[in-house]
Amino acid sequence: MAHKYYLDESGNTGDLITSKVDLNFGNQPIFTLACIGISNEKHISEKINNLKLKHEIECEELKSSDLYFSKPLFLLDIAKLITVERCPILVELVDKKYCVATAIVNHHIWPPYFSGDESTGQIQFIRNGLADYITNNLPNDCYEAFFRACLNPSEENLLSSMETLKSFFFSKIDEIDFAELTVKAIEETIDDYRVIKSQGDTEEAIKKFIPIPDQMKNGKSINLLPHVHSIFNLIARLNKYHLKEIKGLILHHDIQNEFDDILIYSKEILESKDQDYDGPPVTNSDFNLLEQFELKFVDSKNSIGIQIADLLAGYFNRYINGAFYKKVNLDEVYDNIFWELRKNFRPMSPLGVNFVVPQSNQQIIFRKFNL
């Protein structure tokens, strides 16, 4: 049986590590990738057309950028339609600065290469806490040093980045209880680098302590593209939702002129893995794929499924950014949309929103909506 899913993103500003350090990412601090399952596009299209007539919407293509502020009641009706039709929704919502902070933790403080058995999740819990603290407290000079190491990999830049980070945490030893342990962890990472370097190629040793860039079709390197991590997670969540039976899965993604090769490559990596996932436990995902699935890139103008995915991605992006980051007083209808979509979430299930945000922000959202 074929299962059809439709994907679109919001807040895509490309790679997060660029020559100019902009930790607000052009006023788009959040990236979202939304996925919705629709078994019959024609049936849903008819329902949508009725809603467009009701709300006096004349545009042929539904876009969140056009409708979020002007037609929130239309979005509420879309959410109600999703509930009535029991369409599965899966969303990855990523705080971009937190994504960079996580990369710093994973490469400079507690690299997974040397952490051993992570099946209990304890080490990942520590990593998450460090990433939360770094997101909210790390000064710009530490980010700048990390960006230099990523963009111009060299021993000088790598060690400078690690030493800058170590100096910051050393200055906090009298203020925070985990600062001394973090300093020691960074020193151990520097030692690990020197050991690996002594065993072979310096260039290869450096690569183990910075994020691996993705390559675009034009040969350009992309450093930390949230889209890649999000597509990995969505595939793993769909794999769990369908109990590994994904042979009939068809993912329809909006046309990606720049990143399609990277997304296809991400799919192929997961499909070709010959070793079981041995990382920290993830309750809503299964990264061990036994079957292959289909990924298509289609024009959103011709797909109501992708248009709905666009509405979902744009809604979650703008709502979380406005209500919880900018702390804007929003009309009650925007809360009501979330509560309606909340009906489609399932505890400990792949369905719903995966909030890849600092724990401090995450808890505020969770408390408000009983997540």
Q: Using the Cα atoms of residue 35, residue 56, residue 298 and residue 96 in order, give the sign of their dihedral.
A: negative
Does the pLDDT of residue 268 top 90, yes or no? no
Question: Angle at which helices 359-369 and 332-342 pack, to 10 degrees?
Answer: 90
pLDDT of residue 277: 61
pLDDT of residue 108: 95
Instruction: Report residue 126's pLDDT band, with 50, 70 and 90 as the boundaries.
Output: confident
pLDDT of residue 370: 87
What is the residue whose two structure tokens read 């056009």?
A: 66
Does the pLDDT of residue 118 top 90, yes or no? no
Could you tell me which residue, 207 or 2, shows the higher pLDDT? 207
Domains and CATH numbers, the chain: 3-95+246-269+289-369 (3.30.420), 97-215 (no CATH)
Nearest Cα to Cα of residue 32 among 329, 249, 231: 231
pLDDT digits (tens, 9 = 90+) for 321-338: 999 999 999 999 999 999
pLDDT digits (tens, 9 = 90+) for 60-96: 899 999 999 999 999 999 999 999 999 999 999 999 9
Query: Which whole number is the average pLDDT over 10-21?
Result: 79
Residue 125 to residue 268: CA distance in whole angstroms: 29
The reported pTM is 0.92
pLDDT digits (tens, 9 = 90+) for 182-199: 999 999 999 999 999 998
Q: Is 276 helix (H, G, I), strand (E, B) or coil?
A: coil
CA 272 to chain centre: 22
pLDDT digits (tens, 9 = 90+) for 217-235: 555 666 788 888 899 999 9
Instruction: Report residue 356's pLDDT band, with 50, 70 and 90 as the boundaries.
Output: very high
